[in-house]
Structure 1
Amino acid sequence: MATCYRHPSRETGVSCSNCGRPICPDCMTTTQVGMRCPECAKQRTKVMRVRDMSAVPRLTYALIAINVIAFLAEGNITATGGGLGNDVYREGALLGSSELAPFAGQGVAHGQWWRIVTGGFLHENLIHIGFNMYVLYVLGQMLEPALGSFKFAVVYGVSLLTGSLGALIVSPHSLTVGASGAVFGLMGATATEMRARQIPLMQSGVGGLILINLIISFTIPGISWGGHIGGLIGGVLATSVIRLGDRHRAQALALAGCALIAAAAVSGAVAAAKSSEVERSENGQPVGTISPAP
């Protein structure tokens, strides 16, 4: 059994709902989100007042603006349709490799590594971007004030990259666009935060949101379920590492851990793109089946 972080001689089975440190009865402070240690209890007003002006999720709004601007620049402004758009779409969409026109010799496998990032800011149509931006707005309202803008950016970035990795593992020869990987990462991050703070997932609505989106990912054709699962895993990993760093007062190491996850995702994405191209070439199959997947 763990011992109280302030009183090592006292065993306890209770941890602070914010930082996770073990606390004995003398160190417990009851709050609306569970038991807190003395240090975290002093910060409870800052944690709970998510609608305070100092906690406006500015980065969330900035990310929404960037996605909307990128969508307008693509030339794919249709409600439900799609297409290859203009050069912004064709040069920015995630693609492992292809031998089919007009993408012959293009993709991550051919040195176009930026697609791993830019694909996460492009969208197929108005419904696609509308849904993703709505979920980003809802989750950002909760998660950015809880983590802080910088850590929120780290989680978003890691999730985007792991989402691209998942998409390239599952469908390396298809064009893939959308912020869904990063948004799924925010779902995983929100669930991780709520669980750590002893907030029921299903009662909060976040658990249902994740479940519904997972069902949609695996039942509707054309959706990049690999990107969704990859993003979800990345969000959970990044948030867990950040919380571990906060718990042990080792934030620099936590950020280094997140950077390592991001680097591994990029390396894995490049490797997945190259290996799939080699495998299909050796089998004598054409490399590339261009089917935009939101």
Structure 2
Amino acid sequence: MDTDRLPGCYRHPDRDTGIRCTRCERPICPECMISASVGFQCPECVRAGSGTGHAPAANAPRTVAGGVVAGDPHLVTKILIGINAAVFLAGLLAPALVVQLELLGRYAAYFGAPVQGVATGEYYRLLTSVFLHAEWWHIAGNLLAVWVIGGPLEAALGRLRYLAVYLLSGLGGSALVYLLTPPNVPTLGASGAVFGLLGATVVLMRRLRYDMRPVMTMVVLMLVLTFVPFGGSLSVSWQAHVGGLVTGVLVGLGMVAPTAGRARSLVQWGTCAAAFLLAAALILLRTAELT
């Protein structure tokens, strides 16, 4: 018997955890832990402490990052998956839509045609491209990763903070693509956002003192798949992967910083603002080069 193994969550026995409820001392995983004035509590202890279950907003159950615990902890993940699927189907029905939404720096189809791309002011492409996919296996792989990685992360951070990680990671990936790739090469896909969710998960697991080997193995494997060539009609954008991963790590550090109260919110949203401004600086730098 392995005596060094961490105990399993009392609600999810297959999830090892080093965190315990400060009231009943049962082991709890990130999906179950709720921030308390000191440490974390399990859902049952929080309900018992609130009496009727209608506690004031200031005392409402909180996630490990300070977000409000939602009835459906995976709602935003489901919505993001739905949006990606809907845009993919729309692209199949109207291929011209993909051309208008994919990430292009500066491009003209032929001499004399109107120039289009981010450099001409179409900055929306930096985010709309994150919801586009070229092949069924492309969207299937990305959305499976969003569900597997994003679902638990949303439960741990809360809806708004999780959405911020997703969108900023997608923007960070697009910014690095725009900066480092030829302006006439189209790029699309949610992989930058996916890598950002993975980066934030690494930070979260480190903060909770979980066994880092599984998630680090996943990071290494995904980076190997990023840089090792493989067959197929769609090339991998390492710039999007690296940009998303770095952004996810930075925003994740702000989200789970060991602070509380107003200071925690200031650190969290200040980090988000810094990540946005960094991406904006890269975008403006590249635009200046292309115009």
Q: Same fold, TM exceeding 0.5?
A: yes
| Larger relative contact order (Cα-Cα within 8 Å, sequence gap ≥ 6) | 1
Residue type matched to 2:282 in 1? G
Alpha-carbon RMSD across the aligned residues, in angstroms, is: 3.1
CA contact (8 A) 2:172 2:243 kept: yes
| TM-score, L = length of structure 2 | 0.73
- Offset of residue 104 of structure 1: 5.4
CA distance in 1, matches of 2:86, 2:43: 37
Q: Which residue of 1 aligns with 2:175?
A: 165
Of the three residues 278, 282, 291, the one matched with 1:264 is 278
- Structure 1 residue aligned with 2:245: 232
Shift in alpha-carbon separation, 1:175–1:44, aligned structure 2, 3 A = same
Superposition deviation, residue 118 in structure 1:
0.3
Residues in 2 aligned to 1:115 and 1:219: alpha-carbon distance in whole angstroms: 27
Equivalents in 1 of 2:37, 2:261: separation in Å?
15
Q: Is 1:97–1:109's contact at 8 Å kept on the other side of the alignment?
A: yes
Question: Is contact 2:73-2:155 (8 Å) kept?
Answer: yes
**Cα gap change, 1:110 to 1:64, in 2 (>3 Å):** same
> Would you say 1:217 and 2:217 are equivalent positions?
no
Counterparts of 2:78 and 2:135, CA distance in 1:
20
In structure 1, distance between residues paired with 2:79 and 2:286: 31
**Aligned residue type for 1:109:** A
| Matched pairs, number | 239
Alpha-carbon distance in structure 1 between the residues aligned to 2:40 and 2:251: 25
Deviation at 1:257, TM superposition (A): 2.6
Q: Point out where structure 2 has 5 or more consecutive residues left out of the alignment.
A: 1-17, 20-24, 45-60
Give the TM-score, by structure 1 length. 0.72
1:121-270 → structure 2 map (5 Å cutoff)? 121-173=131-183, 174-202=185-213, 205-220=214-229, 222-244=235-257, 246-247=259-260, 249-253=262-266, 254-270=268-284
Q: Partners in 2 of 1:153 and 1:241 — Cα distance?
A: 14
Identity across matched positions, percent = 30
C-alpha displacement of 1:272:
1.8
CA contact (8 A) 2:132 2:189 kept: yes
What are the Cα deviations for residues 31-85 of structure 1, in whole angstroms up to 9, with x where unaligned? 5679x9971233576769xxx9824300000000000001111128xxxxxxxx7
Q: Which amino acid aligns with 1:87?
A: A
What amino acid is the match of 1:214?
Answer: L
Q: State the distance in 1 between where 2:43 and 2:259 align.
A: 16
SS at match of 1:59: helix
1:3: which partner in 2?
none
What residue number does 1:285 align with?
A: none
Give 1:247 shift.
4.5
Task: Measure the CA separation in 2 of the matches of 1:170 and 1:158.
Answer: 18
- Residues 161-213 of structure 1: CA distance to partner in whole angstroms, max 9, x if unpaired? 101111112214210000000000000001110011111122xx322221111
In the aligned structure 1, how far is the partner of 2:110 from the partner of 2:280?
26
How far the C-alpha of 1:244 sits from its partner, in A, is 2.2
Q: Cα 1:165–1:93, aligned 2, differ >3 Å: closer, same or farther?
A: same
Which 5+ residue runs of structure 1 have no aligned equivalent? 1-16, 19-28, 77-84, 279-294
Give the alignment partner of residue 119 of structure 2, picking from 109, 112, 125.
109
Q: Counterpart of 1:40?
A: 39
Instruction: State the secondary structure of the residue aligned to 1:263.
Output: helix
The Cα of 1:216 is off from its aligned counterpart by 0.9
1:227-274 per-residue CA deviation (whole Å, 9 max, x = no partner) reads: 100000000000101222745742332213302311331342242244
1:119 maps to what in 2?
129
* Worse-matched range after superposition: 66-75 or 163-172: 163-172
